[in-house]
Amino acid sequence: MGFMKMMVSRLKKDMVVLSGLVILVIHSSFINVSGGRMAGSFFAATGEARIIAEFLSLTNPFFNGWETHSFYVDKKTVYDSLKLDIAGLNREAFEYGLKGLDRLIQEGRTEKQQILSIIDFSQPSYKKRLYVIDLDNYSLLFQTWVAHGRNSGGEMANTFSNKPASYKSSLGFYLTGNTYRGKHGYSLKLEGLEKGINDNALRRAIVMHGADYVNESLANSQGYIGRSQGCPAISKTLYRPIIDHIKEGSCLFIYHPSERYLQSSPLLN
């Protein structure tokens, strides 16, 4: 028995050493000249990296893998590639949305990992502040107007609530659910994922639906579009294709540069 324990212990040590050597070889082969860091984006794109990562995760308890880390690193390039700054999307909104999506992927909570929808409430409602992004294909699928709750503000959404009958929008991360036909017609259920911030969404019937008060003519004539009872309502011309693209397991992030939210978000902290 003593001999067997000694052999197992020796084998474990050898495997740790071997995994360290593999890391050293890879690290010396692919260097990021700006910081001397491993080029995670390269490994995420290669089958060899996955094999190595699986091997290291089994043999070295201190190795956490590259896949989830490199997802965030890789997809950050989508912002500049699509020139989303010119489209008006706040970079902070995009990167926080990406960070939260990465967390959801790690936890196995999203089925459509490539789709990220962002509502940027740092913009006034007369702007097209809903963005539906295909991260894998580097494509901005939709950019359009979206309403906020009537008690969240006029031109700008400034106050938010998770309380029923508040008629305010709720910030944070949502998972899209199934579609149904309700009083607003074809609609999409939204599950709020952050306790105390938006987890009353289903109870409040916060859904995505089409609305006549979300249109360009209102935005131009009065300086803001109509407001909802808290739902992210969108135009009647685009609600169906948008809902069909994002339904059943994609991530929706409603952003505002609110320190209170950013510091208390369970998914961002």
Q: Let me know if residue 269 belongs to a domain.
A: no
Residue 55: pLDDT above 90?
no
Clarify whether residues 107 and 218 are in a common domain: yes
Domain that holds residue 136: 76-264
Lowest mean pLDDT among 7-16, 34-43, 77-86, 113-122: 34-43
**Which of 72, 91, 115 is where one domain is finished?**
72
Q: How far apart, in Å, are the Cα atoms of 256 and each of 12, 61, 93? A: 49, 38, 8
- pLDDT 10s digits, 216-250: 999 999 999 999 999 999 999 999 999 999 999 99
Q: Let me know if residue 21 belongs to a domain.
A: yes
Residue 50: pLDDT above 90?
no
Residue 185: pLDDT above 60?
yes
- pLDDT 10s digits, 187-220: 999 999 999 999 999 999 999 999 999 999 999 9
Q: What is the mean pLDDT of residues 87-96?
A: 98
Q: For the chain, what is the domain count? A: 2
pLDDT of residue 33: 37
Clarify whether residues 153 and 237 are in a common domain: yes
**Tokens encoding 128:** 């097209």
Q: What is the mean pLDDT of residues 69-93?
A: 94
Q: 149, 169 in Cβ contact below 8 A?
A: yes
Clarify whether residues 42 and 112 are in a common domain: no
Q: What is the pTM of this model?
A: 0.76
Clarify whether residues 83 and 14 are in a common domain: no
